[in-house]
Structure 1
Amino acid sequence: MKVLAFGATNSRQSINKQLAKYAASLTGSTQIELIDLNDYEMAIYSIDKENENGIPEKAKNFIRKIADADVVIVSFAEYNGVYTSAFKNVYDWASRVEHKIFQSKPAVFLSTSPGGAGAKSVLNFAVESAKYMGADLKASLSVANFYNVFDEKNSRINDPAINAQLKHAISTLNLF
């Protein structure tokens, strides 16, 4: 099974990228691809730009990455309660290639933050939007207080209860 994972942010030191990477490692797959939204940076979407220049290759490449995957794991960073502008822009461009960008792939949506809310606002928004994005959403999980529950040295969650919840969420992908 090919697992595609990413943090829905362009932050280079993103805790959501760390969470997505760890979650992907729990799948047991030997085919994990962790992508970085910085590799898909494009001009801010507008119909005028699309009409003038067409759809950027980066948007097409993003859609191909999803098409090539068997499952998708996304960890959403929260900016002002919603998606990051980096994710929203990739989504806007990619949806011009394939309206339902996740192409009915089984998916797990995650979120985390340093605070007690665990970026639940954006996760709830993503869960509600999953059907419009074409995700076959199997599970979602918000991880609060990231720096208290994640061992950055060993790149793993060190809280047994949260780790069990994450393992359960990943198990819903039915990889085996």
Structure 2
Amino acid sequence: METTTLSFQNMHTHGELFTNLLRARRESFIVQNRWDLPEADGMEFDQYDTPASRWIAVHEFGEVLAGIRLTPTTARVGMYSYMIRDAQRGLLPSIPSNLLDFEAPVEPHIWESSRVFVSRNVPAKLRMKVQHDLMTEMINAARKLGATQILGLVPAVWSRWIKRLGLDAEPAGPVLNIDGSESQVALMHLSTNLH
């Protein structure tokens, strides 16, 4: 099993990994969760998949087992910034605007994690390892990018697995039902995570 951080600068050196990641996202979010998201050629994508973002994939033999997208909170593409902030600003009608307990930050040391998933094909006995590898790579990649905090809209059960992984995070908004899934914004503090 491998874990890779992709960017527009290096994705050409990883063959089909990026397209396989977008295919796995489609399987998780469009097929499994039945979310109404953009797709083309069997891949899920949106306006936040830009050169400012990074993508983390846990993969084995070409199959993507889990993934995350990291986007700086300073990102700007036309009228969009990052998903949580744009939802708060009312630009994303599928996500409630009251998802945060404070104004969405625009700071170089805070990055957003989004499109977090673990494939349903991952056996139960491997899920914890896959989650651990995914979170460890996310923390390492975010730190290399200068982040000290990560803001993410994640499944509301995040507090169960985040503690098992030894990570420091706190709720940053209410639990919300979004497209039939209980979700919540969490704020992770990287300075206290030593992974």
Same fold (TM over 0.5): no
Normalising by structure 1, report the TM-score: 0.32
Normalising by structure 2, report the TM-score: 0.29
Instruction: Compare the two structures and name the one with the higher helix fraction.
Output: 1
